[in-house]
Amino acid sequence: MAVNKTSMLVLDCTDAQALAHFYAELLAGEIHIGEDPDLIEVVGGSGVRLAVRRDHGYAPPSWPRPEDALQAHLRILVGPEDLDEAEREAVSLGARPVDVDTEEGPREARLFSDPAGHSFTIAATGWTV
């Protein structure tokens, strides 16, 4: 018999409270603090779940430098008509655009780093979000 499983992306950082608030605002979600105050879960309005964990020795990822590979990133999906607004919202919350695309014109996916340096993408999707 298979064991029921679920998974969650956990992002390490120096300030778990601050990063949890960033993602809770960005994902219109709620913060859940359990027994360990250094591990905080964020549950987004559409069921997205991720967690942030305080790491006392944390060093931010150095991607997109060519010598470093993108290890993992969060992809946030929005309707095509909401892409510009989602970008403005992310930046207003403290995200930093990471412009690695040299093509001119509109892009359907936009790369950012969160306040702790993790990369994430806001991308247009054809599905109903």
Q: Cα-Cα-Cα-Cα dihedral of 6, 11, 17, 19, to 10°?
A: -120
What pLDDT score was predicted for residue 46? Answer: 80
Q: Which tokens sit at 32?
A: 């859940």
- The reported pTM is 0.73
Residue 128 confidence class, pLDDT cut points 50, 70, 90: very low
So where are the chain's domains? 9-124
What is the domain class of 9-124 according to CATH?
Answer: alpha beta
Q: What is the mean pLDDT of the chain?
A: 82
What pLDDT score was predicted for residue 68? Answer: 53
Q: How far is CA 11 from CA 39, 40, 79, 81, in A?
A: 10, 10, 25, 29
Per residue in 29-39, pLDDT (tens digit) is 999 998 888 99
State yes or no: pLDDT of 78 exceeds 60: yes
